[in-house]
Amino acid sequence: MKIKAAFAVLAALLVAALIFLNRTPQPQAPAPSAYRALPVLPKHFFGHASASVDESVETNMFRRLLMGKEIPKLTPEQIAAYLAANHRNAESLLAGLHTTGDRAFLREAMEKFPHDPKVAYTALFFGDLSPEETRQWADTFKQAAPGNAMADYASALNYMKSGQSDLALQDMTAAASLKWSDYSSQFVQSSEEAYRAAGYSDVDAKAAAQTQLWLPDLAPLKQLGIDLAALADSYQQAGNSASAQATLQMAMRLGQQLSTSETQPITTTLVGYAIQSIALNSMDPNAPYGNAGQTVQDQINQLHQLRESIQNLGSQSQPLQSLMSEEDLLNYYQRRQNLGPLNALQWAVNKYGQP
């Protein structure tokens, strides 16, 4: 039953992501009032940060899930030892934010470690910043992580929001030659260590860290793809086809960067596919695409097939939930963390599915 509850949560997250991301909105001119580059923490993020935990029951993650309760946040008392052991460094303070939902840990990290790239990223996407502060932290992020395209995307988001599309395109051009990281794997690892230090078992610590990972950059990045498509449309209407195509290629590269890593969360991959679809739907479907004799429509169809394969894999794995031992559940989470969620789902299907 514990195994069933855990897999039910993962399946629900996958289905919800597919329902939302399989819809490809038509590009439209960005409206500043609707553009939210800096989403606030969701209500559930503050969950039970101050609630006490009964070690005999409440640390059993799957029993809580079976009872319909939220995965518990750590209390300040529970995370104190972890913070002390790590000398309240930047990574441990950010783990404090992720595992308790208390923004005080983020504020402390911003004050003590303003030049740490993970702190700058978190400040931009979790912080409730003024426009001036947002621009300052975007510049800090670029300086702290010169090889990370995410820093340029964060800067481009800010410039697009303020109507400075030319500067946004400069950032997009710079990002094209860089690798991309949202630090999600580091956040999961440090959160897992914090839960384990608080007395949770290995499998419960992994479950808590992986299922509670919040990815606040994905909605703004998808909006950036929409805005780039809208900008390309404005270029096209003005008769500037070259700039229109160049802008759509920037959106394509953004989507491709988000969807190429095997170890990232499935939702990130799906957002990458969605951004590519947004750009492709702004192109002539009969136009050639790439050097393999494909058309734009062929590429759109390929992305649709990739989304369907993820959905089918999730559907195949769901009935297997009651068959897995707790040892294999731990193996599943280890695979999910080290090799990626799709690898973990395929492993479950191969081991427990019908021959």
User: pLDDT tens digits, residue range 37-47?
Assistant: 333 333 322 22
pLDDT level of residue 321 (50, 70, 90 thresholds): low
List residues bridging with 288 in a β-sheet.
295
Best CA proximity match to 98, nearest among 222, 17, 183, 6: 183
Report the amino acid identity of residue 121: Y
Query: Is pLDDT above 50 for 27?
Result: no
Residue 19 scores a pLDDT above 70:
no
Q: What is the mean pLDDT of the chain?
A: 82
For residues 226-239, give the mean pLDDT.
Answer: 97
Q: Is the pLDDT of residue 22 over 80?
A: no
Single out the residue of 8, 6, 23, 7 nearest to residue 275, CA to CA: 23
Q: What is the pTM of this model?
A: 0.80
Q: Does 35 have pLDDT greater than 90? A: no
User: Based on the structure, what is the number of domains in the chain?
Assistant: 1
Q: Is residue 328 assigned to a domain?
A: yes
List, for residues 246-256, the tens digit of each pLDDT value: 999 999 999 99
- Does residue 287 lie in a domain region? yes
Asked whether residue 19 is assigned to any structural domain, the reply reads yes
**Does residue 317 register a pLDDT over 90?**
no
Which residues constitute the domain of residue 325?
1-30+217-355
Do the domain assignments include residue 26?
yes
**At CA 73, angle to CA 192 and CA 37, rounded to 5?**
85
d(CA 39, CA 220): 8
Per-residue model confidence (pLDDT) at position 174: 96
DSSP string, 98-160: HHH--HHHHHHHHHH-TT-HHHHHHHHHHS---HHHHHHHHHHHHHH-TTBHHHHHHHHHHHH
13 assigned to some structural domain: yes
Does any domain span residue 266? yes
Say if 294 falls within a structural domain: yes
Q: Any bridge partners for residue 74, and if so which? A: none
Say if 322 falls within a structural domain.
Answer: yes
pLDDT at 70: 67
